[in-house]
Amino acid sequence: MNQALLLVDIQNDFLPGGALAVPGGDAVVPVANALMPAFDYVVASQDWHPPEHLSFASQHDGLEPFQTTELDGLTQILWPPHCIQHRPGASFASGLDVAGINHVVRKGTDPRIDSYSAFYDNGHRKSTGLADDLRALGIDSLVVMGLAADVCVAFSVNDALAEGFSVTLVTDGIRGVDMAVGDTRAAIDQMTGAGATLTDCGTLIARE
């Protein structure tokens, strides 16, 4: 077993109707369900914020969601409160076949620093341990999909590549926030420029 599937943040708050909905985010759920049986090992990351997380605009008087500020020395986009621990919005999408997930990585638990990547917080101050866990299993290649393409997926892919994993991005298994028009396209171009390859769900299933 040298390849694993990484599902990034397929959670209720990132789906239509959620607190930080990604347009078309629900479309990635059937793709994930179709792909999971093709892998011996499936990891899912899960945003898991305390209610007072300082990435939330509600924690900053006079600031609104999607404005920026500085947080512990890092530029921080302020978000609506989302994926709060033990609340429905933080749960995996109701349609996601969670029985197919072998390991869950929770991130964003430190109220003072945001954590987009499944591997590290945004300042690379603490590791989630995922890279070591994968290496211990002999995994050196990741197939990545999920939400959002231009935020948590991109950060996860870049950290995976930096850790020496080969990465394949599932193009029909991602959707982006696109806070600025073209952000998702730019993120995909950046990931491929850094070494990720592109495929789609049908191609992956056909190889089995």
Exactly one of 26, 152, 159, 201 is catalytic; name it.
152
Cβ within 8 Å of residue 206, ≥6 positions away:
none
Cα(first)–Cα(last) distance of the chain, in Å? Answer: 14
Task: Look up 200 and say whether it is catalytic.
Answer: no
Residue partners of 56: CB distance under 8 A and separation at least 6? 49, 78, 79, 80, 81, 82
Distance CA 144, CA 35 (A): 11
Helix (H) or strand (E) holding 98: none
3-class DSSP state of 167:
strand
**Is 152 among the residues known to form the active site?**
yes
In the chain, helix, strand, coil percent, each to 5?
30, 25, 45
- Amino acid identity at 3: Q
Half-sphere exposure of 147 (CA within 13 A, CB side): 27
Query: Catalytic: which of 107, 121, 150, 201?
Result: 107
Catalytic residue among 9, 13, 47, 150: 9
Helix (H, G, I), strand (E, B) or coil at 180: coil
Q: Evaluate whether 56 touches 112 at the Cβ level (below 8 Å).
A: no
Residues annotated catalytic, as ranges = 9, 107, 152
